[in-house]
Chain A
Amino acid sequence: MHEWALAESVVKTLKNRKKTVFEAEVIFGTLQDIDEEIFTFALKEILNQEDFKVKIKITKEDAVFECLSCGKIFDLKEGTKDEIEKENIHFLPEMAKVFLKCPSCKAKDFEIKKGRGLSLKLKEK
C-alpha cells in the first residue's frame, strides 16, 4: 500500500506541469517491484480529486546492474529469493546493495544502471 505515496508524487509532478503535459508514461523499475494494481487504483483515486486530465500509460523497465569491481553486467535473475529481503528492496531499492552481489566476482559494489524504481516520462507542449 505504500504505492499510494508514490502515486501521489506522480500526480503532484503532473499537477505542477499541468499546463504543458499532455501525455505521461509511468515507468516501474522491476527492482522495486511496485504492485501495479494498487498503484493504478491509487493513481485514479488521487487524480479524481484533481481538475486536469492527462493520458497515462504504465510500462516496466527491467533492472540491470553493472559490477563496479569486475564490470560484469547482470540482472534480477541473480536476485534474492528471500521474501523479507525482497520486501526490504521493495520499500528501499538501494537495499539491493545489501542483499545482492555480483554473480561473477561476488562484489557488492555495483551500480543500478536501469530499472531501479519509479520514473516518469512526459510529453509536453
Chain B
Amino acid sequence: MNIIDPRPSVISQRFSQVKNIIAVTGFKGGVGKSGVSCALALALTEKGFKTGLFDLDFSGASDHLILGSGKVFPREEKGLLPPYVHGIKFMTASYFSSDKAIALRGSSVSSAIKELFTVTIWGELDYLIFDMPPGVGDAAFEVMNLIPSAIILPVQTPCSLSAKVMERSLEIYKEGKFKVLKTVQNMAVSKEKGFYHQIFYDKKWPKAAGKADKLIKTSFYADTFGLAGKLVKESSL
C-alpha cells in the first residue's frame, strides 16, 4: 500500500491551452518583479492577447494591491475560474486569506501552490505570467517540477548585489533545461547595453499602485509595453 498525492497528475492538463508561460523571477527582493508582472499582463491584454496572471508569491502576495483588484473571487465550477481584473484572468492566494497576512513554511508553500495548480481552470490563454517570490525557493521548485514549458524572465536593478550572484541562480534553471531570457534591468537610470530590456526609474509608478487607470499612464508602463512587444516577437519565432 502506498500513499500518493493525486494532484500533480492533472497539472500539465490545466496548462494545456496556455500557449506561453513566463515566470518573472529575480534573485533579490524588491527589484520590481511584481510591478513588471502586473504591467506586463496589462500590456499584453492591451495588445489584444488573452492573458493570465498568477501571483506565486503566496507569503508576499502583492499583485492584487498593485492592480487594485478589489473584492473579486474565483467562480466555482469544475474547478476555480480566476476572475477577470482589468481584462486579465487573475489568480492569487490572497483571495483566500480574508486580508490577513499569509505566513507559510516551505512545505506549506509547496502544497498550497500544488493545490491551486490543480484546481485553477485557466482555459485558453496566449500568455500566463507567473509573479515569482525572490530567489530560487519552494515556488521556483514547484514551477521547475511541474511546468517544464515555463520561460524564465529575470529582473534585476542597477544596484542588485552582483550580476554574478544572479547568473549563478539562473544556472539552476538552465540546468533544468528551461529557456532563460536575458535579464530585464528595472529602475534603470541610464541607457546600457546587454539587457533584454530596460525599464527606467519612475517616481510615479509606486504612487499609481492600486489604480489601473493611473498605472497605464506611467513611463514604467510604457517601458514595460516595449518589453511586452519583444516577448510577443520572441514567442512567435
Asked if A pairs with B, the answer is yes
Contact of B5 among A94, A97, A119 (CB under 8 A): A119
Is the pair A88, B97 in contact by a Cβ cutoff of 8 Å?
yes
| A91 and B79 in contact, given A98-B101, A119-B3, A122-B2 (Cβ under 8 angstroms) | no
- Chain A interface main SS type: helix
Is the pair B1, A92 in contact by a Cβ cutoff of 8 Å?
no
Is the pair B7, A84 in contact by a Cβ cutoff of 8 Å?
no
C-alpha gap A117/B114 in the complex (Å): 12
C-alpha gap A42/B119 in the complex (Å): 14
Residue of B with least CB distance to A89: B96
Q: Which residues of B contact A12 (CB under 8 A)?
A: 6, 9-10, 13
Decide yes or no whether A85 CB sits under 8 A from chain B: yes
C-alpha gap A112/B100 in the complex (Å): 19
- A15–chain B nearest beta-carbon distance, Å: 8
Is the pair A94, B104 in contact by a Cβ cutoff of 8 Å?
yes
Is the pair B111, A118 in contact by a Cβ cutoff of 8 Å?
no
**Other A-B pairs beyond A94-B109, A95-B96, A97-B108, 5, CB < 8 Å:** A6-B7, A88-B98, A92-B112, A94-B112, A119-B3
22 contacts between A and B (CB under 8 A): A1-B76, A2-B76, A2-B78, A5-B79, A6-B119, A8-B78, A12-B9, A12-B10, A88-B98, A91-B80, A92-B116, A93-B111, A95-B97, A95-B102, A97-B102, A99-B98, A99-B100, A112-B108, A121-B2, A121-B4, A122-B2, A122-B4
In order of increasing CB-CB distance, the 9 nearest A-B pairs are A5-B79, A4-B78, A94-B112, A12-B9, A88-B96, A13-B6, A9-B6, A5-B119, A9-B10
